[in-house]
Amino acid sequence: MAINQLKVPGKVFSGNDSYLKLNDIIAAEAVKAVILITDKGIEGAGITAPVLELLDAAGVNTQIFYHVQAEPTYNDVTQLVNEIGDAAADYIVAVGGGSVLDVAKLVSVLKGASYSIENLLETPGIAKKQVKAVLIPTTCGTGSEATCNAIVGVPEKGIKIGIVNDELIPDVAILDAGFVKKLPQKHLAAAAVDALCHCVECYTSNKANAFSDLFAAEGAKLIFHNIREAYADAANLDARAQLLIGSFYGGVAITSSGTTAVHALSYPLGGEFHIPHGVANAILFEKVMRVNKPDITNELAALCDAAYPQQAALSAEEKAEFIIEEIADIVKKLEIPADLSGFGVQLKDLDFLVEAGSGVRRLLDNNKRALTKEEITDIYLSVLNEQTGGEENE
Ligand SMILES: NC(=O)c1ccc[n+]([C@@H]2O[C@H](COP(=O)([O-])OP(=O)(O)OC[C@H]3O[C@@H](n4cnc5c(N)ncnc54)[C@H](O)[C@@H]3O)[C@@H](O)[C@H]2O)c1
Ligand SMILES: [Zn+2]
Would 152 be classed as within a structural domain?
A: yes
CB of 259 shorter than 6 A to ligand 1: no
21-52: pLDDT as tens digits: 999 999 999 999 999 999 999 999 999 999 99
Single-letter residue type at 163: I
Domains contained in the chain, number: 2
Is residue 194 lining ligand 1, measured as CB closer than 6 Å? yes
Q: What DSSP element (H or E) covers 172?
A: strand 172-175
pLDDT of 388 reads 40
pLDDT in tens, 274-292: 999 999 999 999 999 999 9
User: Burial, 83: exposed, middle or buried (Cβ in 10 Å; 0-12, 13-18, 19+)?
Assistant: exposed
Cβ of 98 less than 6 Å from ligand 1: yes
pLDDT digits (tens, 9 = 90+) for 382-393: 999 754 444 433
C-alpha of residue 69 to centroid of ligand 1, in Å? 10
Question: What's the average model confidence in pLDDT over 160-177?
Answer: 97
Please check whether residue 80 lies inside any domain of the structure: yes
Mind listing the pLDDT tens digit for each residue in 210-254? Answer: 999 999 999 999 999 999 999 999 999 999 999 999 999 999 999
- List the CATH number of the domain containing 355: 1.20.1090.10
Same domain assignment for residues 164 and 239: no
Give the residue, by CA position, lying nearest to ligand 1 atom 24: 187
Does 1 map to a domain? no
Residues across the chain: 394
Q: What is the pLDDT of residue 386?
A: 53
Note the ligand closest to the C-alpha atom of 103.
Answer: 1
Contact 185, 231 (CB under 8 A): yes
pLDDT for 106-130, tens place per residue? 999 999 999 999 999 999 999 999 9
Share of the chain above pLDDT 90, in %: 95
* 230 shares its domain with 166: no
Report how far residue 394's alpha carbon sits from residue 391's, in angstroms, rounded to the nearest whole number.
Answer: 6
Domain residues for the domain of 157 are 11-179
140 and 209: one domain? no
At 387 the pLDDT is: 45
Q: Residue 310: what pLDDT?
A: 98
Ligand nearest to the CA of 198: 2
Do 111 and 52 reside in the same domain of the chain? yes
- Max CA-CA distance within the chain? 62
* Shared-domain flag, residues 213 and 81: no
CA of 247 to the centre of ligand 1 (A): 12
Distance CA 291, CA 194 (A): 19
Same domain, 43 and 89: yes
Instruction: Pick the residue whose CA is nearest to atom 41 on ligand 1.
Output: 71
**Quick one: pLDDT at residue 295?**
98
- In the three-class reduction of DSSP (H, G, I as helix; E, B as strand; rest coil), residue 134 is classed as strand
pLDDT tens track for 200-215: 999 999 999 999 999 9
> What CATH number did the domain enclosing 138 receive?
3.40.50.1970
Is residue 220 domain-shared with residue 140, that is, in the same domain?
A: no
Give the pLDDT confidence of 296-326 residue by residue, as tens digits.
999 999 999 999 999 999 999 999 999 999 9
Residue 288 falls within a domain, yes or no? Answer: yes
Name the residue with the closest Cα to ligand 1, atom 19.
Answer: 97
Question: Ligand 1: distance of its center to the CA of 70 in Å?
Answer: 7
Nearest CA to ligand 1 atom 25: 41
According to DSSP, residue 11 is labeled E
Mutational pocket test of ligand 1: of 151, 243, 249, 260, the residue with most ligand atoms within 8 Å of the beta carbon: 151
Whether residue 250 contacts residue 143, with contact meaning beta carbons closer than 8 Å, is answered with yes
Domain identity same for 86 and 198: no
Domain end (from 158, 179, 200): 179
Predicted confidence (pLDDT) at residue 63 exceeds the cutoff of 80: yes
The answer to whether residues 98 and 197 belong to one domain is no
For residue 95, which ligand has an atom nearest its CA?
1
Determine the distance separating the centroid of ligand 2 and the alpha carbon of 141, expressed in angstroms: 8
C-alpha–C-alpha distance, residues 216 and 204, integer Å: 10
Residues 329 and 77: their CA atoms lie apart, in Å, by 37
Q: Where would I find the H helices in the chain?
A: 22-28, 40-44, 49-57, 74-84, 98-110, 117-122, 185-203, 210-232, 237-256, 261-273, 277-307, 316-333, 350-358, 361-364, 373-385
Would you say the CB of residue 41 lies under 6 angstroms from ligand 1?
yes
Query: Which of 120, 139, 248 has most ligand 1 atoms within 8 Å of CB, for mutation?
Result: 139
- Provide the β-strand partners of residue 136: 95
Domain termination residue (choose one: 131, 158, 179): 179
Does residue 394 lie in a domain region? Answer: no
275 assigned to some structural domain: yes
Q: pLDDT tens digits for 354-393? A: 999 999 999 999 999 999 999 999 999 999 975 444 443 3
Ligand 1 touching residue 70 (CB < 6 A)? yes
Q: What is the pLDDT of residue 2?
A: 80
Q: Ligand 1: which of 7, 40, 42 to mutate, judged by most atoms within 8 Å of the beta carbon?
A: 42
Which of 111, 146, 179 is the endpoint of a domain? 179
pLDDT at 394: 33
Could you tell me if 302 and 354 lie in one domain?
A: yes
Statement to judge: residues 238 and 373 lie in one domain: yes
Within-domain flag for 258: yes
Distance, first Cα to last Cα, the chain: 45
Establish if 54 belongs to a structural domain: yes
Residue 250: CB within 6 Å of ligand 1? no
Measured between alpha carbons, how far is 171 from 146 in angstroms, rounded to an integer? 9
- Ligand 1: which of 73, 103, 144 to mutate, judged by most atoms within 8 Å of the beta carbon? 144
Cα–Cα distance measured from residue 282 to residue 138, given in angstroms and rounded to the nearest whole number: 20
What atom in ligand 1 is closest to the CA of residue 141?
16
Based on the fold, state whether residues 152 and 299 are members of the same structural domain. no
The pLDDT score that the predictor gives to residue 392 is: 37
Residue nearest to atom 3 of ligand 1 (CA): 144
